Structure 1
């Protein structure tokens, strides 16, 4: 069977490599949040838990890498062209930003207690993963729509990928002079996923997708990704470690880890990656469902308050796996109901589009 181009996004079959990478990130995310909320202080000292804490920092960078790769794939659709898909990507980006801020809603009681104060504004406008992905998607789709020519796109994506992380220390120093909403979005300690430097992961993924678009999925792309990831990890391990939130070393280290995961997803047989791909396809739903359960929402307490850090490792793991299974089941049900309610609507363009439709090499 002949192999198609790596960015052919014509109708199925759908290659599950990136969906599998996202599925792995979803698994790590739900388990990590549950362990963080439920593990007792003694269980946190477990050697395996300590190793896991160091690895779970890869989850968000991996999501952003995959999202950046996906927007390039979506904008390169042969059937619609870049401008045809642009509107759908913008709507997707705005939806992600809205949902991200919705998850930050503290409830009317907290609003009344805090009043119209900076403390309330800081809580309402805290910048999390969904807002970061949505804003990066909006900028990336606009840049790819306006930029013409392979060299210009390469240059612009490269400047964004490298420039954002290099500018992060200066932006964080200038941040206190900005309005609090912009301060939270661009760089501030109160937000976990500020645009500087987190958006750089998104544009690294976009740049790689653009540079590797002529290679076939599977071994050709996997070898390049593995070589780049190993090279970046090797380079960072020779330099002094810097775990500061604006550290270029930390971004390079996480990018290297993410590329290794993407390479493994490319090398793995399709039958294996299809086990994780369904989680990746429903990653947004799982994200939206599990966070209120673990941490609560709008004044309703979650597991972190109802149970608290009291469980040992095995019960906490079982709770995490149970929560993951429940969220996945509800997400599948909601997707099916949506299809039954709106059968005429095409499938939405996701921020985790797969590599392409070709088979493994």
Structure 2
């Protein structure tokens, strides 16, 4: 297996490639296990299932945090005026592309324009907000933050912190409002889980924006991630947030009422953000200790969108392809499920290799045409 020297990648945030690859692996195996494992084996009394279920709760936050980090790092907010920043235009396109793909994966009918046989349940699935919608919206929020920062002539991270606090404070309130009574479902689905959304903006944008905050810091401190103090600082910050989350859970047990709901909701967010930041610190520390990383890891991190779309279609299907869920939903034993998850991961690694070969072929063809 080919390795890449870290000296040749000094301009890249290498540990983020590791984190993205870890998130993709966790996501693929998590979706596979959740799709196939029979209900009688989903028992928290089993240590293995308990560990898997706990770790799965952190996969989406890692994915979203990393997306916000990388996008904001590459945004180069201080190098350009807002209207002249090429990354702004690319980011807007990327944001809407992710949202569009999210809706396409949940398209309610195989007939492009005939919706006569679409049921309300199918519309609910179509309008529900999933990871791609949320990340796309998150990128647009980062761009909005940059626009506000340029207008107010303040640093980008001040605006991002303001939005994070806004989502933290108001998420418990927003989630209790029946938004369908006031807004079209396509909009209300971004505000509450009540209509089937997995990742409504309140509070899930906190994870994208938290990543954006770290991305802004990394951009303003080039190469800081290779310093020992960076990994130590992140580890301390992550551990502190985890401790704060457990403190909120302790306070929750002391009080009753709506105030408790607010504490518990933000406690969960602090726990997840703390875990992700701690993981950042650990991976940054590991990168400092190694001289090279397998190329497949870097490539896996770079092709997250393709891997997401392909494995989702294989597992859950789409309007034009039934997927495994239709035939094998929650019917496998643990052994069958583990084997299936391994096969799915190997298949996705093959896809990564295939994409790499196609890209190499295109590059060689371009070079030959220039000769």
TM-score, normalising length from structure 2? 0.80
More displaced 10-residue stretch of structure 1: 92-101 or 146-155: 146-155
Residue number in structure 2 paired with 1:20: 18
Contact 2:300 2:352 in 1 (8 A): no
Contact 1:71 1:206 in 2 (8 A): yes
Mapped partners of 2:339, 2:157: distance in 1? 45
Mapped partners of 1:312, 1:114: distance in 2? 39
Which residue, out of 42, 45, 63, partners 1:44? 42
> 1:226: how far off?
0.6
Which residue, out of 179, 185, 188, partners 2:184? 179
> 1:142: how far off?
3.3
Which structure ranks higher in relative contact order (CA pairs < 8 Å, sequence separation ≥ 6)? Answer: 1
Mapped partners of 1:62, 1:159: distance in 2? 21
Residue number in structure 1 paired with 2:282: 264
When the two chains are superposed, the root-mean-square deviation of aligned CA atoms in Å is: 3.2
> 1:63: how far off?
1.1
Query: How many residues are treated as equivalent by the alignment?
Result: 336
Any unmatched runs of 5+ in structure 1? 1-9, 345-361
Residue number in structure 2 paired with 1:234: 243
Larger Rg: 2
More displaced 10-residue stretch of structure 1: 99-108 or 310-319: 310-319
Mapped partners of 2:299, 2:178: distance in 1? 42
Residue number in structure 1 paired with 2:225: 217
Q: Which one has a larger percent helix, Structure 1 or Structure 2?
A: 2
Residue number in structure 2 paired with 1:198: 204
Residue number in structure 2 paired with 1:337: 358
Mapped partners of 1:231, 1:154: distance in 2? 20
1:142-186 superposed Cα distances (whole Å, 9 cap, x missing partner)? 322452388442221101112113212232315232110001122
Residues 117 and 310 of structure 1: is their aligned pair in 2 closer, same or farther, counting only changes over 3 Å? closer
Contact 2:77 2:146 in 1 (8 A): no
Any unmatched runs of 5+ in structure 2? 1-7, 253-259, 367-371
TM-score, normalising length from structure 1? 0.82
1:270-291 superposed Cα distances (whole Å, 9 cap, x missing partner)? 4575463332111111111101
> 1:42: how far off?
3.7
Contact 2:19 2:280 in 1 (8 A): yes
